[in-house]
Amino acid sequence: MRFVLAGVLVAGLAATSSQARVIEDFEGLPSTGDLNGSAVLDGLMSVSSPTNVLRVYDTSGTGGADGDLEYADSGQALILQRPRRNAATDRPNDDANGGTVRFDVTAGVLDVISLTLFDFERNERASFTSDKGEIGTIVGTALERSGANQNASSTFVVDFASLANPENALGISWLRINTDASTAFDNLVATPIPGAALLLASGIAALGVARRRRLAS
């Protein structure tokens, strides 16, 4: 009975404190200047890149230099900034060669559900890896369109449950994304798993194993 009650407690804790939601939409971050080093986003994660400077791009067209990233009513997105020609005057513009971005969870772990990619076009590739292993790779199918607000067809919502190894998107402490062309990132949707729930669940699992061993001996 103790184990049944404990299991109900774990389920109740997960249901009340861990609901799927947009963990990060990059709103409220400055769209000028760099996110240097490992920038803390919202208290649940930090973001960094070993290949590029990270910047926030205002897709309304204010202050950016890339018409392909101008979308109506899409707000701000994260980009891998192209190599600088003039660090003092360069406006935000994503790197045509892509790069790597990494999200590190700073509190508990996450079940990652989806991520929105902007300007993700035909034959472009994005691969996803976590501390659990490779999650999968996607290939773009949208035809390129030039000009401001013409790229809505190249918006791609990554459904992690549909990738090759969806189990590797569950209970993760970091997520790494590699792209081979210009892409912007927005609306990371995930379910936060609090540290307290993890400790309680692991402790109950250990008690269950110990009980089965006693019964078997």
pLDDT in tens, 78-99: 999 988 766 555 678 888 899 9
CA distance 64 to 70: 9
Residue scoring higher pLDDT (213 or 172):
172
List pLDDT tens digits, range 200-212: 455 555 555 555 6
Using pLDDT thresholds of 50, 70 and 90, give the confidence band for residue 67.
Answer: confident
> Could you tell me the sign of the dihedral formed by the alpha carbons of 137, 166, 50, 190, in that order?
positive
Using pLDDT thresholds of 50, 70 and 90, give the confidence band for residue 3.
Answer: very low
CB neighbours (10 Å) of residue 58?
Answer: 19
The answer, yes or no, to whether residue 6 has pLDDT greater than 70, is no
Residue with tokens 């609090």: 194
Task: Locate the domains of the chain by residue range.
Answer: 1-18+195-217, 19-193
Q: Is 199 exposed, middle or buried (0-12, 13-18, 19+ CB in 10 A)?
A: exposed
Please give the pLDDT value at position 92: 80
Measured between alpha carbons, how far is residue 82 from residues 56, 164, 213 in Å? 13, 30, 58
pTM of the model as a whole: 0.78
Q: Which fold has domain 19-193?
A: Jelly Rolls (2.60.120)
Measured between alpha carbons, how far is residue 118 from residues 78, 109, 150, 160, 169 in Å? 10, 26, 12, 17, 21
